[in-house]
């Protein structure tokens, strides 16, 4: 009897060990580019173009040093409260020790496009690489060039304070297997250049869905209800449905105005969560805000979820 128990225990231990080994392999970070592959692209970043990418991506909204108003001082440290714990966006200034001044362009590209840090770890999707992955390599190179022009800010952000098991960073690799395709974004040849540019901003650097799309149990976006409104990550308030409700009555001109001044057609001001978004998008050419409006107005209406009887 003892031998049978020992054999069963050994078999169970081997199964568990095999499962752990498989999970370890499957959860390995998968950067999109090697250094050689990035260099082969031959991209020369343009800082002036990168400035627009910076504001389109809302980089300062999370990475700006708290307690001061300069959007270009990117010391990080803002507390982002979520159901999984509190995230503290890191220092992304040009400081070579505390920031990303020592990172190569390919390191920044892999962080943005595949959620992999310079040291080869999976990044938490609180950093919206699930949307940034749709950025073009050229826009990434331009953004890197612009970031290189910004001041170095000393100091590191606090470590994330996450509840178990979400504190196990390696598990993010398994989450990626389920919810992250690392595939970029291909233009739709059946649509106009203006529509495609609007889609690029909304689904890519503008990462509108990160707040306006409902999320599932593991924080994944429920893409069947993309942009239909959602509870805010901190539990305070809800983002608007961009495919239903009053928004259906907005014209493209109304959207452009709201993204420029923050004022809605009724004369109200967009909620606090949109303050930084408007501040950033107002830096873009009006043609880009119009492209966003064209894309949003093209989406089929989607109302609130059906209630159960």
- pLDDT score for 252: 96
Alpha-carbon distance values, 180 to 35, 78, 124, 132, 196 (Å): 22, 25, 12, 11, 22
Q: How confident is the model at residue 232 (pLDDT cuts 50, 70, 90)?
A: confident
Is a pLDDT exceeding 80 seen at residue 3?
A: no
* Helices marked H in 58-207: 59-63, 105-114, 129-132, 137-147, 172-179, 193-203
Q: How many CB atoms lie within 10 A of CB 217?
A: 6
- pLDDT score for 231: 83
Percentage of residues of the chain with pLDDT beyond 70: 89
Stretch 188-199: mean pLDDT, rounded?
Answer: 96
Closest CA to 215 of 202, 207, 227: 227
Q: Residue 81: beta bridge partners?
A: 86
Closest CA to 117 of 29, 221, 57: 29
Q: How confident is the model at residue 304 (pLDDT cuts 50, 70, 90)?
A: low
From the number of C-beta atoms within 10 Å of its C-beta (0-12, 13-18, 19+), residue 245 rates as middle
Mean pLDDT, the chain, as a whole number?
Answer: 88
* H/E run at residue 288: helix 286-298
- pLDDT score for 84: 87
Buried b (16+ CB within 10 A) or exposed e, 34-55: eeeebeeeebebbbebbbbbbb
- pLDDT score for 213: 93
- pLDDT score for 11: 60
Stretch 8-24: mean pLDDT, rounded?
Answer: 58
Q: How confident is the model at residue 142 (pLDDT cuts 50, 70, 90)?
A: very high
pLDDT single digits (tens) 114-129: 999 999 999 999 999 9
Q: How confident is the model at residue 309 (pLDDT cuts 50, 70, 90)?
A: very low
Q: How confident is the model at residue 307 (pLDDT cuts 50, 70, 90)?
A: very low
- pLDDT score for 18: 59
Q: How confident is the model at residue 240 (pLDDT cuts 50, 70, 90)?
A: confident
The residue among 220 and 292 whose pLDDT is bigger is 292
Stretch 205-222: mean pLDDT, rounded?
Answer: 90
Is a pLDDT exceeding 90 seen at residue 132?
A: yes
Q: Report which DSSP code applies to 296.
A: H
């Amino acid at each position: 009897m003892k031998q049978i128990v020992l054999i069963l225990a050994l078999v169970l231990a081997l199964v568990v060990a095999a499962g752990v080994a498989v999970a370890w392999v499957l959860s390995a970070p998968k950067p999109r580019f090697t250094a050689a592959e990035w260099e082969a692209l031959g991209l020369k970043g343009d800082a002036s173009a990168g400035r627009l990418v910076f504001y389109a991506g809302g980089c300062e909204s999370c990475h700006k040093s708290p307690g001061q108003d300069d959007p270009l001082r990117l010391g990080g440290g803002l507390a982002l409260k979520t159901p999984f714990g509190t995230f503290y966006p890191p220092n992304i200034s040009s400081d070579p020790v505390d920031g990303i001044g020592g990172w190569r362009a390919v390191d920044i590209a892999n962080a943005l496009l595949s959620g992999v840090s310079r040291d080869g770890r999976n990044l938490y999707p609180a950093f919206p690489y699930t949307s940034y992955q749709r950025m073009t390599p050229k826009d990434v190179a331009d953004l890197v060039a612009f970031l290189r022009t910004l001041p170095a800010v000393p100091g590191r952000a606090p470590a994330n304070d996450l509840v178990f098991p979400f504190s196990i960073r390696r598990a993010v690799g398994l989450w990626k297997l389920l919810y992250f395709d690392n595939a970029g974004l291909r233009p739709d040849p059946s649509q106009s250049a203006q529509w495609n540019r609007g889609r690029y901003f909304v689904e890519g650097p503008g990462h509108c869905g990160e707040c306006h799309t409902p999320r599932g149990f593991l924080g994944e976006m429920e893409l069947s209800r993309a942009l239909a409104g959602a509870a805010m990550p901190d539990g305070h308030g809800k983002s608007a449905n961009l495919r239903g409700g009053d928004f259906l009555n907005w014209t493209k001109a109304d959207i452009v105005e709201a993204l420029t001044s923050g004022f809605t057609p009724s004369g109200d001001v967009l909620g606090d969560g949109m303050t930084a978004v408007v501040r950033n998008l107002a830096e873009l050419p009006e043609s880009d805000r119009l492209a966003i409006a064209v894309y949003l107005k093209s989406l089929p209406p989607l109302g609130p979820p059906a209630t159960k009887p």
